[in-house]
Amino acid sequence: MGYQIRTILWLATFLGTAGAALLLRQTFLTLLDLGEGTYRWARRKLLPRGMAWLREIEQEEDLPDEAVRRAALERLAENPLAWGALGLVLAALLHDPMLSPAVLSVAAVWGDAWYTLRMSTRSRRMDEDAGNLVVQFESRYPILRSVTRSLSAALEALPEGEVRKAVDATLRRLRLSQDAAQAAAPLLHLPNPIASRFGLLLGSVQRTTPEVMQDALAQLREDVEDRLALRNEMRQDLTTLRGTVRFLQAVLLAGLGVVCLVPSWRGYYTDGSGHWMLYLLLLGVAVLGSLYVNAEIRQMEQ
C-alpha cells in the first residue's frame, strides 16, 4: 500500500511539474508575442508622431516665446497621458475612497474624449488639404511639366497647416537638388493616406514618364473624391454616435455624483472592501467602455 501511495504521489508530482512547465512555457511565448506586437505597434504609431514633434520643435525655434509656450500647452492638452497625470494628482490630493477613483476616471475619459475630438478635426482638415493639394497639382502638372513649379503653384492655394508645412519642406529639398524620394519624406511622414500616396508619386517621378504620372494623378484624384464623399456620408452617423456616447458619459457623471455625495449610497460602497471593490469594478468597466468607443471612432475616421 505504501509503495502504491508513493507511486501515485510521484506520478502526481511529475504530472504537476510537467503541466506547470508547459503552462510557464505557453505564458512566456504569449508574453513574447504580446511584447513583439506592442513594439511593432509603438514603432508604427509613435515613431511618425515623434518625427512630426521634432519637426515642429525645429519650426518653432524662430517663433516668439509666447507662441512657443502656447503651442506647447496645446500639445500638452491634446495628450491623454497629461490628463491621466492630472487625475492622479487630484486623486492623491483628495485622498477619498469614493472621490479619488471618480476624479481619476473622469480625467481619463475627458482626456481621451478631447484627444478623439482633436484627432477627428485634424484628420478631416488633413483630408481636405491633401485633397486640395492633389487637385491643384494634377491640374497644373500637364501644363507646366515640372514637379517643382507645379508643386510651388499648388502650395500657394493651400491654407496654413501640416500639409502646407510638409509641401514647403518638400519644395526646399527639391530646390536643393535632393533625390525626389528623399525630398518627399515630409509628405510620407504625414499620418494621412492621401498625402502618403501623393508623396510616393513624387518620389517615383524620376522613374516614370509624364504620361504615367498624369494617369496616376488622375486615379489619385478620383480616390480622393471617393474618400471625401465617404467621409461626408459618415459624418452624420459619427455625429450621432458621438452624441450618444457623450450623453451616456453625462449620465455616468451624474451617477457618480449621486453615489459620491448621497450619504446612503456612499455608506453602502464604503461599508466593507467588497462593496468598494464592486464600485471600482463598475468604474473600470465604464472607463474601458468609453476608451474603446473613442478608439473605434478614431479608427473609423482614418
Query: Looking at 76, 97, 123, which one is the last position of a domain?
Result: 76
Query: Looking at 25, 57, 76, which one is the last position of a domain?
Result: 76
Query: Looking at 31, 56, 76, which one is the last position of a domain?
Result: 76
Domain shared by 31 and 148, yes or no: no
10-24, 110-124, 153-167: segment of lowest average pLDDT = 10-24
Domain shared by 106 and 61, yes or no: no
Residue 63 pLDDT: 45
212-264 tens-digit pLDDT: 888 888 888 888 888 888 877 777 777 787 888 888 888 888 888 888 888 88
* Sequence-separated contacts (24+) of 104-108 with Cβ below 8 Å: 105/256, 105/283, 105/286, 105/287, 106/253, 106/256, 107/83, 108/80, 108/83, 108/84, 108/287, 108/291
Structural domain containing residue 34? 2-76
Domain shared by 45 and 138, yes or no: no
Instruction: Give mean pLDDT, residues 100-121.
Output: 84
Domain shared by 177 and 289, yes or no: yes
**The total number of residues written for the chain in this structure:** 302
Domain shared by 37 and 110, yes or no: no
Q: What is the pTM of this model?
A: 0.63
Q: Is the pLDDT of residue 64 over 60?
A: no
Amino acid at 257: G
114: part of which helix (H) or strand (E)?
Answer: helix 99-144
For CA atoms 288, 290, 294, 299, give the dihedral sign.
positive
Domain shared by 86 and 109, yes or no: yes
Query: Cα(97)–Cα(278) distance, rounded to whole angstroms?
Result: 13
Domain shared by 67 and 213, yes or no: no
Domain shared by 242 and 291, yes or no: yes
53-62, 90-99, 201-210, 257-266: segment of lowest average pLDDT = 53-62
What are the start-end ranges of the H helices in the chain? 2-60, 65-77, 80-94, 99-144, 147-156, 162-175, 180-183, 185-188, 193-203, 210-261, 263-270, 273-301
Instruction: Give mean pLDDT, residues 106-114.
Output: 84
Domain shared by 215 and 179, yes or no: yes
Domain shared by 161 and 246, yes or no: yes
Domain shared by 285 and 144, yes or no: yes
Residue 120 pLDDT: 82
Domain shared by 104 and 177, yes or no: yes
Our count of domains for the chain comes to 2
